[in-house]
Chain A
């Protein structure tokens, strides 16, 4: 396996009303070929900003990538000229969003939108592009694919729109698919259909996937590796088995305890005291320290680096010292 995408010390900031918002602070991770990498965290932790930074879609102003490196198949995405980025976007790296209605154009038929994308990236004639579009819709198990080609987005249900979106994004056989909360707007039974489809597509097209979600169940079910984000930084990264069976960072532990589970009952859910910090004035040291029950001397002064606590299990927490486990 080789590394498809490598993000190093990525820093993205937004400037608003004279304030600097430190949206991403030294984010680093790798996505291996043919794997699903999960990025999980609560609102405002920087998951979506990470995705937009990779695609160079951070609007400037107010936002800007101010540091770091994003390497994708040997190319440095941060310093690539805009026209080269544009040829990667949609072709080598595609993205699906939470609400497909916002990324499908409401006034064009599904077929026309798909044909446009296919013709743009694959140098196919209109007729061939049309056949390709129908084939893709059939591959995502869209019932009556030819009829759907002639329909407008509003005529499809939420689940069917997401299917159309996936068909469109995979039609160019991207190396990396970024899925930002792809099932959050869907009902659970429809979510199960779409998740099954994404897994199937990953196997069939050998596409790597960056899956962004706040839903830990989706993460557990889909991912190979998982990174947990808090206030603009990755606090823990491990294989999906390790992170669910042996969460190490106090934030990860807190988050895990807060979920009402379907398998078991507990009288009270664990609670993380306090609220997420304001990213224009992030706390000194570890950004989780004001809410952390285990904080000690260095936590409010020094930023803990993301270090290996056990094999393949990275944690940014002084409880785990410099590479040694404490538990």
Chain B
């Protein structure tokens, strides 16, 4: 019975998630907030990769940090295996932290330069008392091998490695606690394409071997398409469209998703893309536009878009969109 429940229940469920960051008070003394994440609902199923895509400042990184409970939400719920993270205090969360790990964007900034690779990867095991200290090095060596490094690398320091190798160390560290969920925040953005390919292939292979679930955050649409099973598109603190990857890429519905997908340069020099170029910049998340947040840049804008916020609703079996055009 327990197994059946585990199969159906999503690993992570997010409901009405909000995060407002306070801004320094102005002379009028009114409270001003950056609405980084402003009402987001989604779930992540076991063993899948959910791609979270959007441009800078859309709130995708904040969502990742909220799920890892690195920051506290302003409002909303995050359920991890049915447990509400908000109700857990520091002590209560500790055993759960083992189950979710992160891979960072910058493999240069995210590894302590004064620690050996063995210490870096072994540290999470020590904190969670997972492996007997006498066997820790052996376990780390096994992990290094599983991410394509060598056992001899155990006693080396991060500066002795290339960017791609460092990202492998970061991945080994994330795997050290045998997590269920890995939040990967732009894990290949700092890497060259040939190295990026190595890391993406590795992440896929590890997912199969260890049965991992990924929340993969990226601004790179090609990468998101390659790695994800389902994709959620964010704009200005909201998810505007979410769906099974194939459906979303074949028939994007939301005008923002369409603009985003056509903005990516094609690798076929003879193919002239249909120009759905968005004009202007993203509005400020401090005072987001009324109604639909995209209405200031949308070419299909309707009267109701200025006033009414569109609700997230299904358009196909596996595709959801928040847009008045599809109501």
Contact = CB atoms under 8 A, between A and B. Distances in A.
Interface of A: 42-43, 143, 157, 159-160, 187-193, 195-196, 214-218, 220-221, 223, 240-241, 244, 254-263, 265-266, 268-272, 275
B162 A196 contact: no
- Most-contacted residue by chain A among B269, B275, B281 (CB, 10 A): B269
Contact of B277 (A187, A193, A240): A193
Contacts of A160: 281
Contact of A271 (B198, B264, B268, B277): B198
Contacts of B261: 262
Interface in B194-221: 194-198, 200-201, 204, 219-221
Interface stretch (B35-43, B115-123, B222-230): B222-230
Interface in B248-282: 249, 259-270, 273, 275, 277-282
Contacts of A241: 269-270
Contacts, number: 122
A191 B262 CA distance: 12
B193 interface: yes
B265 A260 contact: no
A159 B281 contact: yes
Contact of A220 (B225, B269, B277): B269
B48 interface: no
B107 interface: no
Contacts of B193: 42, 214, 216, 255, 258-259
Given A159-B281, A214-B192, A271 B197 contact: yes
A272 B264 contact: no
Contacts of A159: 281
Contact of B55 (A189, A217, A266, A268): A189
A196 B265 contact: no
Given A217-B265, A218-B265, A260-B196, 16 more contacts: A42-B192, A188-B264, A189-B278, A190-B55, A192-B262, A193-B277, A221-B269, A223-B269, A244-B267, A256-B267, A259-B222, A261-B222, A261-B226, A262-B264, A263-B268, A266-B226
A253 to B, nearest CB: 11
Interface of B: 55-56, 162, 164, 192-198, 200-201, 204, 219-223, 225-227, 249, 259-270, 273, 275, 277-282
A187 B269 contact: no
B269 A217 contact: no
27 contacts: A42-B194, A43-B192, A143-B280, A188-B219, A188-B263, A191-B263, A192-B275, A196-B277, A214-B192, A215-B265, A217-B222, A217-B266, A241-B269, A244-B269, A254-B194, A255-B193, A258-B197, A259-B267, A260-B222, A260-B225, A262-B264, A263-B267, A263-B268, A269-B197, A271-B197, A271-B198, A275-B164
B200 A260 contact: yes
B263 A217 contact: no
